[in-house]
Amino acid sequence: MHFQVRAITLDLDDTLWPFAPIGARVERVLHDWLLQHCPRTAEQFPIEAMRALREAVYVERPDLSHDFSQLRMLSLIRAMELSGDDPAHADAAFETFYAERNRVEFYPDSLAALERLAARVPLAAISNGNADLARIGVHHHFAFQLGAREHGTPKPAASIFHAACTQLAIAPGEVLHVGDDIEMDVVGAHRAGLRSCWINREGHTWPHELIRPDLEFTTLAALADWLDAAHQPDTAAA
C-alpha cells in the first residue's frame, strides 16, 4: 500500500528501544542510591515496597496520570517522609533515576532507520513516557518532542495527535504515526484521523476487526524501506 506521507510521528518506548530492561535497571540503581544517601528509606522501601508505594500514589493522583516524572517525585518524597529521611534528597534521587531512565539500548535497526526516515520527512516524537531525546542523543533527528506531560493528556486522546499535527503544520491525514502499542498508537492515531503504522516486533495477532493499521512491519528498517520506495519516481510511464 502506498499513500502520501508528509511527516511521521513516532512513539519511543518499545518502538525505538525496549523499555523492560530500563524499568528493571532504574529500580536497582535508585535503590542503591537510597542505600547510600537515605538508608532509612532504602530499608523501609526496598524495590518491591517502593513499587507498591508508587502505585498507591498513582491511584491517589489520577490528575497526574499523564506525568510519570511528577508521580515518581511524589513517591520519593512520600517514602522519605514516612521513613524519617529528609525529603530534600528527592531531587537528587530523581536525577539518579532519570539519568538511568535515559540510558537506552536501541533495537539493532532503530538508529539507521531513524536517519533514513528523517532524511525523507520531518519526524516528531509523541510519547506518554518521560524519555528525553536530548539526553539520549538523537534529538537532532526530530523536529520536536511532544510528551503527555507537556500536552496535559496522554495517548490515545486525539488531542495529543492533533497538537503534533498543528505544530508540524500538516493535516492529520498526511501524517503517519508509528508505534508498538495497539490501543495507544494504532487505534489512537486512527481515531484522530492520522495514518498508522504498527511496529509488531513480537509477531502478535491484530485483535480488532473494524480498525486495522495502514501499515505493519516487524522493524523500523522495514518502514524506512517502504518510505524509500514511496519516494522513488514513478517510471512506469517512461
Query: How would you classify residue 91: left for phi > 0, otherwise alpha for psi between -120 and 50, otherwise beta?
Result: alpha
Q: Is 153 helix (H, G, I), strand (E, B) or coil?
A: coil
Could you read off the pLDDT of 186-200 as tens digits, one per residue? 999 999 999 999 999
**Where are the domains positioned within the chain?**
7-17+106-230, 20-101
Report the run of H or E that residue 40 belongs to, with start and end.
Answer: helix 39-44
Q: CA 148, 183, 108, 23 torsion: positive or negative?
A: positive
Could you read off the pLDDT of 63-73 as tens digits, one per residue? 999 999 999 99
Q: Categorize the per-residue pLDDT at 233 as very low, low, confident or very high, splitting at 50, 70 and 90.
A: low
Cell 526530530 belongs to residue? 142
Dist. CA 59–CA 36, nearest whole Å: 29
Cβ-contact 117, 123 below 8 angstroms: yes
Q: Is 126 helix (H, G, I), strand (E, B) or coil?
A: strand
Domain 7-17+106-230: homologous superfamily in CATH: HAD superfamily/HAD-like (3.40.50.1000)
Burial 132-166 (b: 16+ CB within 10 A, else e): bbeebebeebbbebbbbbebeebbbbbebbebbbe
Amino acid type, 14: D
Asked if the model's pLDDT at residue 76 lies above 60, the reply is yes
Could you read off the pLDDT of 96-136 as tens digits, one per residue? 999 999 999 999 999 999 999 999 999 999 999 999 999 99
Tell me if 7-17+106-230 shares its fold with 20-101. Answer: no
Could you read off the pLDDT of 152-192 as tens digits, one per residue? 999 999 999 999 999 999 999 999 999 999 999 999 999 99
Question: Which CATH architecture group holds 20-101?
Answer: Up-down Bundle (1.20)
Q: Is 125 helix (H, G, I), strand (E, B) or coil?
A: strand
What number is the average pLDDT over the span 207-227? 97
* Maximum pairwise Cα distance, the chain: 78
Catalytic residue IDs = 11
Asked if the model's pLDDT at residue 236 lies above 50, the reply is no
Asked if the model's pLDDT at residue 94 lies above 90, the reply is yes
Residue 234: per-residue pLDDT:
54
